[in-house]
Amino acid sequence: MIVPNRRYHIHVICADNDQLLVLDSVAMFFQGRAFLTYDVSSKLPKASLYGRQCIDACDYALMIIGDSYGTAQNTGVSQMHLSYLNAKAKLKPLLILVKSHHNEVNISRQLQEFTNMVTQKAEKIYYYETENDIEQLLIQAYYKMVANHEVGDGWVRVSDELMKANKSVVTDEIASAFSTNKEPKQAQSRPVIINHLAADSVSKPIILTDTFEIQYKAQAYEGGNLSDVTRPMILSWQEVLVTLMKIPATFSSYGLQSAINRLIAIRAETDIKKDMPNVHAVARCQISQDDLNQLQRQLVAANWIQLTTYGTRVTQELWKLTFYAKSLLADKKPKIDSHSSLPLS
């Protein structure tokens, strides 16, 4: 549902210096409807960090695949590809516009492979020929996306009365801050950003001793009968981290799922026997897809895992454990001695 007077933050995923007239058409359509941020050139040193932070903060994402795949970074993929993977990892509602190419000879192999990967995984693709098609496409696609994926955020214009009330408060705070010869405390205490990890203000730290609940399915064998069971299980973040340390250096989302399933299987028989004491075997333990998505999202947000690629195949979506995550187990003193059960959200 479109809320009157509300504007959403939409991040536009695109290749640098491509489809400029299309991007202008997008900007004109969303004027008054949304605030837009865009992927920037891969030549900028913090392009990937900027794109990741924009996707973390946005309400919706819009990807435009045109004539160019973009410049490949040292990871082997372009900024457009990386932003797409980040948007998928963060489960952002994603609207995809793809330019129709009637002669694929004129486009690069990387763009062909990337487009094929995206179209195979997307529920809906909107195709365009020129920038003149954009407005009509967005009228249909944007409102359908907002209706199907309601978000609670967005920006609402405040009333004139509230603006006047806040203005006097802000004026007083500024006057107080500069009433002495000293610099404002905020300016004095501003930290120096020395690396990407410190600069990523959207990262959410995880306490190893905290626990969370997941749902899993399994098959239980009891007296020659097979039963499908669905049960909750409490896991700790330390168990998850130890499990991640045991899998290969790079892994797919399926590899992550398999590792968590093995972790569940270790405890599943004992867990199920609490209610079914005659069970003699348990098989096919599997975490629910919703909980797996939430888990992966939290691992990304906490800077435990990050996207990586190797080789020449742009269709690979591989993850690796970060140096930061590996260093957590080296610290034998937990930051917080807490065993509280937390929701996986």
Q: What is the pLDDT of residues 124-168, one digit of tens each?
A: 999 999 999 999 999 989 988 888 887 765 666 555 555 555 556
| CA distances in angstroms from 286 to 53, 93, 216, 262, 267, listed in the order given | 32, 26, 5, 8, 12
pLDDT band, residue 320 (cuts 50/70/90): confident
Q: Is the pLDDT of residue 170 over 80?
A: no
- Of 65, 40, 214, the closest CA to residue 126 belongs to 65
| pLDDT attached to residue 183 | 47
Cβ neighbors of 170 (< 8 A, separation 6 or more) are none
Q: Is the pLDDT of residue 97 over 90?
A: yes
| Tens digit of each residue's pLDDT (9 = 90 or more) over 112-122 | 999 999 998 88
Q: Is the pLDDT of residue 74 over 60?
A: yes
| pLDDT attached to residue 118 | 93
55-71: average pLDDT:
92
d(CA 319, CA 297): 12
39-56: average pLDDT:
87
Cβ neighbors of 234 (< 8 A, separation 6 or more) are 211, 212, 213, 341
Q: Topology of domain 211-342, per CATH? A: Arc Repressor Mutant, subunit A (1.10.10)
Mean pLDDT for the chain overall: 80
Q: Is the pLDDT of residue 338 over 60?
A: no
d(CA 313, CA 309): 8
Q: What is the CA radius of gyration of the chain?
A: 24
pLDDT band, residue 39 (cuts 50/70/90): very high
CATH 3.90.650.10 correct for 6-148:
no
| pLDDT attached to residue 94 | 94
**Reported pTM:** 0.56
Q: Is the pLDDT of residue 202 over 70?
A: no
d(CA 110, CA 222): 52
- Please report, for the chain, the start and end positions of each structural domain, with discontinuous segments joined by +: 6-148, 211-342
SS3 312: coil
